């Protein structure tokens, strides 16, 4: 089976490699209605082996925003970001933030109107308890007739201790990727952490002068949709997975289930008693598994083996060409997934028939 102009060839160890194919258009997706009854046989969609997932570039988490300011020109953006590259922290520097090349020497990797950018952050941290203890030891050793140190003296000593210990702190690095989709005027972040989204947005705002966005799924009652799907049936194109998290808003209790054929009678009983679904695993078009959260973010995103099929073809040995092919496949798949999620989350909630 061909998908989105690519084929996948099996390599040693069960891994797969994407290959370019020359197709004028992508095939029309086939929608399958999810099965809501437990007694129905469930399809098994194998997840790509872990060793393949490490090489296959695909966002593991996803938070989608709608861009309210004009989409930046990608050529100009590349020049702007390359002027602010990431630099490792100096010995007494707490944090360093900057941009990393997304592909080769390019700080903006564009495929089909979607540009991927990468923000790198490094921090050195010394536990606050260690700083306080060392500061107290130094103040006691200094002693003298000054008596109990004042708050200002204690704060100054803690600052001095921090500067002394920072060079010994092990630096930790982390990356946050984002894709600016000019065709849909959206921004996709590969994280569900609000602080990481805000950090990258702040850097873009400083670089571009204007940058404003709002959550794409900010007004829908997603929890009610998830509960209705689990009580009734999932929407067209989606199937219920094997994991969920329920919350009781009255008591604050939670129930987490995993590797369980849903809907399960015990889970259904909790829903009938008033609990709500906070997270639900879904399978989209037999191609992508993910957890949809009540805040609109996606987690545990895993492409299934149905995302591509066995096909002979020339193997792409160049790493940059392979990442370019990966990104093209991911962008096309996520565009259609986001479009389908927008459709079903904006639709009226169907009452349960069970």
Q: Please provide residue 353's backbone torsions phi and psi, each rounded to the nearest 5 degrees.
A: -110, 10
DSSP for residue 261: -
For 225-237, letters b (16+ CB in 10 Å) and e give bbbbbbbbbbbeb
Six token digits for residue 292: 């949809």
Six token digits for residue 40: 């129905």
DSSP for residue 289: E
Domain ranges of the chain: 128-167
Instruction: Return the pLDDT at 26.
Output: 38
Instruction: Return the pLDDT at 354.
Output: 44
Spatial CA neighbour of 26 closest among 284, 288, 316, 308: 308
Spatial CA neighbour of 171 closest among 101, 97, 118, 99: 97
Rounded-to-integer distance, Cα 183 and Cα 167, Å: 46
Instruction: Return the pLDDT at 314.
Output: 54
With a cut of 70, which residues of the chain have pLDDT below it? 1-56, 144-147, 308-315, 350-354
Spatial CA neighbour of 224 closest among 329, 349, 97: 349
Instruction: Return the pLDDT at 31.
Output: 37
Rounded-to-integer distance, Cα 266 and Cα 289, Å: 23
Rounded-to-integer distance, Cα 109 and Cα 179, Å: 9
Quick: pLDDT tens for 29-43.
333 444 333 444 455
Instruction: Return the pLDDT at 295.
Output: 94
How far does Cα 66 stand from its chain's mean position? 16
Instruction: Return the pLDDT at 76.
Output: 96
Instruction: Return the pLDDT at 184.
Output: 96
Size of the chain, expressed as the number of residues it contains: 354
DSSP for residue 103: B
Instruction: Return the pLDDT at 15.
Output: 46
Instruction: Return the pLDDT at 16.
Output: 42
Instruction: Return the pLDDT at 5.
Output: 37
Q: Are 200 and 189 in contact (CB under 8 A)?
A: yes
Instruction: Count other Cβ atoms within 10 Å, centred on residue 215.
Output: 15
Instruction: Return the pLDDT at 142.
Output: 80
Spatial CA neighbour of 171 closest among 86, 85, 96: 96
């Amino acid at each position: 089976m061909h998908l989105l102009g690519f084929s996948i060839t099996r390599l040693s160890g069960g891994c797969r490699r994407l290959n370019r194919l020359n197709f004028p258009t992508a095939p029309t997706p086939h929608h399958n209605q999810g099965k809501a009854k437990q007694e129905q046989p469930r399809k098994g969609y194998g997840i790509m082996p872990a060793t393949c997932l490490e090489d296959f570039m695909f966002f593991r988490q996803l938070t989608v925003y709608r861009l309210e300011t004009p989409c930046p020109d990608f050529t100009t953006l590349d020049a702007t970001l390359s002027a602010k590259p990431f630099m490792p922290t100096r010995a007494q520097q707490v944090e360093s933030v900057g941009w990393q090349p997304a592909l080769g020497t390019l700080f903006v990797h564009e495929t089909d109107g979607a540009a991927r950018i990468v923000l790198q952050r490094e921090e050195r941290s010394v536990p606050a308890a260690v700083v306080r203890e060392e500061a107290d030891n130094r103040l006691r050793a200094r002693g003298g007739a000054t008596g109990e140190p004042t708050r200002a003296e204690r704060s100054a000593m803690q600052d001095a201790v921090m500067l002394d210990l920072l060079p010994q702190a092990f630096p930790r690095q982390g990356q946050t990727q984002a894709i600016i989709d000019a065709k849909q005027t959206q921004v996709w972040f590969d994280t569900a952490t609000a602080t990481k989204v805000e950090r990258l947005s702040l850097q873009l705002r400083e670089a571009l002068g204007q940058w404003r966005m709002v959550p794409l799924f900010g007004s829908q009652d997603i929890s009610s949709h998830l509960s209705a799907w689990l009580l009734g049936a999932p929407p067209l194109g989606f199937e219920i997975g094997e994991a969920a998290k329920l919350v009781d808003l009255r008591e604050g209790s939670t129930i987490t289930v995993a590797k369980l054929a849903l809907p399960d009678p015990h889970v259904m009983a909790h829903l009938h008693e008033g609990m709500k679904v906070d997270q639900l695993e879904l399978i989209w078009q037999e191609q992508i598994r993910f957890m949809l959260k009540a805040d609109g973010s996606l987690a545990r995103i895993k492409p299934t083996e149905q995302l591509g099929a066995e096909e002979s073809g020339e193997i792409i040995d160049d790493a940059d060409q392979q990442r370019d092919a990966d990104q093209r496949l991911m962008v096309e798949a996520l565009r259609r997934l986001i479009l389908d999620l927008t459709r079903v989350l904006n639709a009226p909630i169907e009452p349960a028939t069970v």
